[in-house]
Chain A
Amino acid sequence: MGKFLLLAFRNVFRNRRRTVMTLLMVGGGVAGLLLVGGFFAFMFRGLRESTIHDGLGHIQIFTAEHFRRDEVHVLDTGIGDWRQVAASVRSGSHVRGVAPRIEFYGMLSNGVKSSVFMGSAVDPDAERNMGFSPRMAAGRDLGGNSNGEVEALIGTGVARSMSVKVGDGLTILAVTADGALNGIDVQIVGIVNTGFKEVDDRYLRITLPSAQRLLASDRVTNLVVGLDATENTDKAAAELAPRLRGLPQQMVLKKWIDLAAYYKQVRTLFSGIFLFLGVIVFFMVLMASVNTLLMTMFERTREIGTMLAMGTPRKWIVALFMLEATLTGILGAVAGVAGGNVLGMLLNSLGLHLPPPPGTTVDMHFRVLHVPSLMIGSSLLVVVSLALASILPAIRASRLQIAEALAHV
């Protein structure tokens, strides 16, 4: 076996120029997949973390009735004794903090113009403790240097459509838990750019006490849990779920991935694109390799005939060709992984930026992550491609007529 492997290995380097070309092709395919996949991985990670830190959190806790709730009376199904629930959750391992939230809807008005909003009421200190800070386009976050006014953050789209700025006043109208219409005046202390135009056009954030006063309820719609690392979400969820049992209200725990519909859509779309690229690379390597290996077989016809004449089993010839192709694939994969990583580092060092993706308003960093699973997957892809590509030439070589092969010039 050792000699056979040695023969295959030396045959790989027999025609060095051709081998270099093959390795460039295979390595280029792997490097390309690593760069694209590494960039996608960076995008996924960035989107995941921004989704979480823009307010989604790692875990959210609702009442079981929340998902069957009446859209108008948002707090009917809210968490009553939310402080007790929060205290129970806060002591969990990996838990960095717990923040109460009220998600509500209503109208904004400045006396001249009105606009619909999708609001959230937060405890600014609790949010900050978990590292959840809104991306400020102007002004400041809630909770700092308050002069007694009810503070509010609005989205850039709201500010633009209502022609308001930091320091201006607005009136918020919403339906209370009793079904009555209520309103409060707020002062705009900051303007937020979430990166998503649709969100910015409806964004409103006020403090929790203000919202509870507006909605005439002490309840909250949900508790947002921040963890020390996103990778610990499953572990933390498994630990917290039993703690929620036995409470007066039946609770439901949702992980961030269950709530991040946009993230999942983006990931599905780009995974599809990456799969398509993988298929292209697979066929590119397959077709080019079949041609190269057929040429190799043709050049070595007499040698194969000699080996067959000496009593070499035909399956050995098949194995030899497949082994050579597999070795070429492995070498190409190694070259591709090395090249892809070096190119990735080079591109990362350039600090490139890309224009905002569709539906967003913020420039995107161009960065390539070095993902071990991607390196293994891409390498396997080209090794399998080459092994498959070698089947036809290998079978043709093994079926050569010995007398004709020996007479081959």
Chain B
Amino acid sequence: MVLPTLLTEQSNALERDGPMDARHELVGVEDVSRKFPLDHSDVTALDHASLRVSAGEFLAIAGPSGSGKSTLLNLIGCIDKPTSGRILLDGVDTSKLSPAHMTALRREKIGFVFQTFNLIPVFTASENVEFPLLVQGVEPRERRSRVAEALEGVGLAARANHRPDLLSGGERQRVAVARAIVHRPSLVLADEPTANLDTRNATQLIDLMRDLNRTLGLTFIFSTHDQRLLEHTPRIVRLCDGQVVSDTSAEGGRHGQVLASCVS
């Protein structure tokens, strides 16, 4: 996979400021609960969860369906608000922000990758990647340059003018990754990014994300229940019934034990 060159400035900053600065706390989840009303009762999707993520981490949130993975990502990504507790992003308590400020925060600091790619079907690959820059108001020449670099970075320069329906699943998800990083966010959130990919494409995608994480210091938090991916993930937070049941930063074998014990 071709490594991206688009984030040269970010990469240089990482080298200039050194690894200590890159390891500051980017995300803080403090005793967060999220309940959803259902008929006459509440369903608890997240139950007093706490978590800290440093800048530059590559973190997987694992757990079975309904364990609260997507809810946690939505809360960290400022597209939902907790029922109780607080979410800190770069030290800012996002649960107290107005909708407009949350929108601005998402626009500036967060990139999203979705399970079903969620590309705009009437846009080409390059136009999809360009969209976050358009929303940010980046001028056209700068947009073109950054889009080209982002697509080259994910190995899709040759497919820039193809619409999503002419791309394979793996290509679509790589376009989605390019879209998530093109505006140089602090944090990339990926909700089950490999769920719709075969093994080869899933592995390639995780390798790509890991490369971006290592090279540019981009912080990745992704949810998955794919054992293949977890084996290559340095830190795994395990959710069960909305609660954080484990948080391990270990080698692949030990992750396997943690998962096995959760399943049992």
Residues of A whose CB lies within 8 Å of any CB of B are 3-4, 6-7, 10-11, 14, 302-303, 305-314, 316, 402-403, 406-407
Which residue of A is nearest B132, CB measured?
A: A310
Which residues 101-119 of B sit at the A interface, judged by CB distance below 8 A? 103-108, 110, 112, 114, 116, 118
A409–B132 Cα gap in the complex (Å)?
A: 24
Closest 4 CB pairs of A and B: A311-B107, A10-B122, A402-B79, A306-B118
Which residue of A is nearest B116, CB measured?
A: A302
B80 close to A403 (CB less than 8 A): yes
B79 close to A311 (CB less than 8 A): no
A310 close to B131 (CB less than 8 A): yes
**Which residues on A sit within 8 Å (CB–CB) of B68?**
none
A3 close to B130 (CB less than 8 A): yes
A312 close to B135 (CB less than 8 A): yes
Which residue of B is nearest A6, CB measured?
A: B127
Which residues 70-85 of B sit at the A interface, judged by CB distance below 8 A? 70-71, 74, 77, 79-80
B130 close to A310 (CB less than 8 A): no
A311 close to B123 (CB less than 8 A): no
Given A310-B106, A313-B103, A406-B120 contact (CB < 8 Å):
no
B106 close to A311 (CB less than 8 A): yes
Which residue of B is nearest A316, CB measured?
A: B135
**Which residues on A sit within 8 Å (CB–CB) of B118?**
302-303, 305-306, 406
Given A14-B122, A311-B106, A403-B74, A306-B79 contact (CB < 8 Å):
no
A407–B107 Cα gap in the complex (Å)?
A: 20
B121 close to A310 (CB less than 8 A): no
Q: Report if B92 contacts A (CB, 8 A).
A: no
B134 close to A309 (CB less than 8 A): no
A14–B123 Cα gap in the complex (Å)?
A: 11
Given A10-B122, A306-B114, A403-B80, A3-B134 contact (CB < 8 Å):
yes
Contact of A3 among B110, B114, B127, B179 (CB under 8 A): B127
Contact of B108 among A303, A311, A314 (CB under 8 A): A311
Given A3-B127, A303-B118, A309-B77 contact (CB < 8 Å):
yes
B108 close to A406 (CB less than 8 A): no
**Which residues on A sit within 8 Å (CB–CB) of B74?**
402-403, 406
**Which residues on A sit within 8 Å (CB–CB) of B105?**
311
Which residue of A is nearest B99, CB measured?
A: A314
**Which residues on A sit within 8 Å (CB–CB) of B136?**
311
Which residue of A is nearest B111, CB measured?
A: A310
Which residue of B is nearest A405, CB measured?
A: B79
Which residue of B is nearest A303, CB measured?
A: B120
B108 close to A11 (CB less than 8 A): no
A403 close to B122 (CB less than 8 A): no
In the complex, besides A6-B127, A311-B106, A406-B79, 9 extra interface pairs with C-beta distance below 8 angstroms are: A3-B134, A7-B123, A11-B122, A309-B77, A310-B132, A311-B104, A311-B107, A312-B135, A406-B114
Which residue of A is nearest B189, CB measured?
A: A309
Q: Can you list 22 A-B pairs with a CB-CB distance of less than 8 A?
A: A3-B127, A302-B116, A302-B118, A306-B112, A306-B118, A307-B120, A307-B131, A308-B103, A309-B77, A309-B106, A310-B106, A310-B135, A310-B179, A311-B104, A311-B106, A311-B110, A312-B135, A316-B135, A402-B79, A403-B71, A403-B79, A406-B74
Which residue of B is nearest A11, CB measured?
A: B122
**Which residues on A sit within 8 Å (CB–CB) of B132?**
310-311
Which residue of B is nearest A1, CB measured?
A: B134
**Which residues on A sit within 8 Å (CB–CB) of B103?**
308, 311-314
Q: Interface readout for B190-232 with A: 1 if CB under 8 Å, 0 if not?
A: 0000000000000000000000000000000000000000000
**Which residues on A sit within 8 Å (CB–CB) of B106?**
309-311
Q: How far is the CB of A197 from chain B (nearest CB, A)?
A: 64
**Which residues on B sit within 8 Å (CB–CB) of A306?**
112, 114, 118, 120
A14–B164 Cα gap in the complex (Å)?
A: 13
**Which residues on B sit within 8 Å (CB–CB) of A14?**
121-122
Which residue of B is nearest A314, CB measured?
A: B103
